[in-house]
Amino acid sequence: MIVPSKRLTVLFMAESADFAPWGDDVVAAIGDKHDLRIFDQSLPLVPQFDGVDVVIDEGGSVGTREMADAAEGQARLWQILGTGLDHFDMDYWRGKGIPVANCPGPFSSVALAECAMMFILMLTRKYAETQSNLHNQIMYHPVGIELEKLKLGIIGFGASGMDLARRARSFGMSILAIDIRDVSDDEIEEFGVEFVGKPDAMDTVISQSDILSLHLHLNSETHHIIDNQKFGLMKPSAYLINVARGALVDEVALEQALQSGQIAGAGLDAFGQEPPDITSAIFSMSNVVTTPHIAGATDGTSRKRAEAAANNVDRIASGLEALYRVD
């Protein structure tokens, strides 16, 4: 634990007026070690950055170029509480000379893996059908399939992908993995990975998987990485899980695949447009389970990210470089 050698001025910027739990956890983590300000959207912007040493940006989507201009020359760190950077104008911040750090995958990997596992269970045990049966007093009617011996394809074998593999293995599932890095022999052994490959082997994994789960960052190479061609490779009995970024999936192709029976169903936490258009046909399908982009938003994730941000503030106050720099 670092004991800061001086007090800093920290500005916290929330994504919305709904301050809890992220804001509450940041306040608790910063404590009385530093002077914490809360950004107020109703007040003039520039004066709120006067004398600010560290900016804590709730999700990376709050910061604007005008804010970077106001922070230039004084902010020694722009700390993002989230992981993804697809919505953050990194080049502009680099041009302003403002160091940027995020909270990488391990801080939310448990929450993401648990949500993916929830989707898998709800879909394979046909939760919507069981609720309909219950309300119609249809009792004892067998529905759903067991997970044991099913193949789980994980696209992106980083922190959340490995945490999902750990949980899926306890259900007796076989693990197929794709990642751009070299997955180590120790990881293959720990998770009992049956097959591991680079992106050029993705079609093989997609065609063999009973469940396909996405755990990728969004960038120009992964945008719509699951499209009509990829849906054509999936088994008609297979399910798609997305707890990463909505734009990884071509949602037009997804809707067509679901309506035509090309795939069996989907569990979706993220969408190409957020908030999504809930009048879309996807949201009325009984074989689709959705949540409002909260797979990684649990009390544990919020607390761990706030503590990581506070630790970086202490490091800056002690003359040390911030951890998890992404600039």
Q: Decide: 163 and 113 in contact? Cβ < 8 Å.
A: yes
How much is the pLDDT for 61?
73
- Of the residues 94, 274, 321, 325, only one is catalytic, namely 274
**pLDDT per residue over 211-237, tens digit each?**
999 999 999 999 999 999 999 999 999
How much is the pLDDT for 17?
65
Give the torsion sign (CA, 122, 123, 128, 131): negative
**pLDDT higher than threshold 80 for residue 175:** yes
**pLDDT higher than threshold 80 for residue 289:** yes
Task: Indicate the residue type of 81.
Answer: L
Span 95-109, average pLDDT: 96
Q: What is the pTM of this model?
A: 0.92
**pLDDT per residue over 14-61, tens digit each?**
877 666 678 899 999 999 999 999 999 899 999 999 999 999 999 777
Span 301-327, average pLDDT: 96
Residue 4 banded pLDDT, cuts 50, 70, 90: confident
Q: How far is CA 2 from CA 284, 319, 325, in A?
A: 51, 11, 18
Span 262-287, average pLDDT: 97
7 SS3 class:
coil
Strands lying side by side in the sheet with 100-101: 35-38, 9-13, 54-57, 77-80, 100-101
- Estimate the crossing angle of helix 159-170 against helix 109-124, to 10 degrees: 40
**Domain span(s) for CATH 3.40.50.720 in the chain:** 9-106+298-317, 109-290
Give me the CATH topology for the region 9-106+298-317.
Rossmann fold (3.40.50)
Span 171-199, average pLDDT: 96
Task: Please provide the size of the chain in residues.
Answer: 327
How much is the pLDDT for 18?
66
**pLDDT per residue over 111-137, tens digit each?**
999 999 999 999 999 999 999 999 999
**pLDDT higher than threshold 70 for residue 210:** yes
| Tokens standing for residue 202 | 């993705």
Helix (H) / strand (E) containing 153: strand 151-155
Task: Indicate the residue type of 56.
Answer: I
Q: Could you tell me which CATH class the domain 109-290 is placed in?
A: alpha beta
DSSP string covering 266-288: EEES--SSSS--TTSGGGG-TTE
- Of the residues 34, 245, 303, 305, only one is catalytic, namely 245
Mean per-residue pLDDT of the chain:
95
Measured between alpha carbons, how far is 251 from 292 in angstroms, rounded to an integer? 16
Determine the Cα angle at 254 with ends 109 and 146, to 5°: 60
Residue 65 banded pLDDT, cuts 50, 70, 90: very high
How much is the pLDDT for 19?
66
Measured between alpha carbons, how far is 96 from 70 in angstroms, rounded to an integer? 10
**Other C-beta atoms within 10 Å of 274: how many?**
12
Measured between alpha carbons, how far is 31 from 222 in angstroms, rounded to an integer? 39
Lowest mean pLDDT among 17-31, 168-182, 301-315: 17-31
Lowest mean pLDDT among 48-62, 152-166, 220-234, 250-264: 48-62
- Of the residues 76, 166, 224, 293, only one is catalytic, namely 293
Measured between alpha carbons, how far is 37 from 52 in angstroms, rounded to an integer? 9
Instruction: Give bridge partners of residue 100 from the DSSP assignment.
Output: 78
* 293 noted as active-site residue: yes
Instruction: Give bridge partners of residue 214 from the DSSP assignment.
Output: 155, 242
How much is the pLDDT for 138?
97
Strands lying side by side in the sheet with 265-268: 193-197, 174-178, 151-155, 211-214, 239-242, 265-268, 288-290
How much is the pLDDT for 23?
87
* 87 noted as active-site residue: no
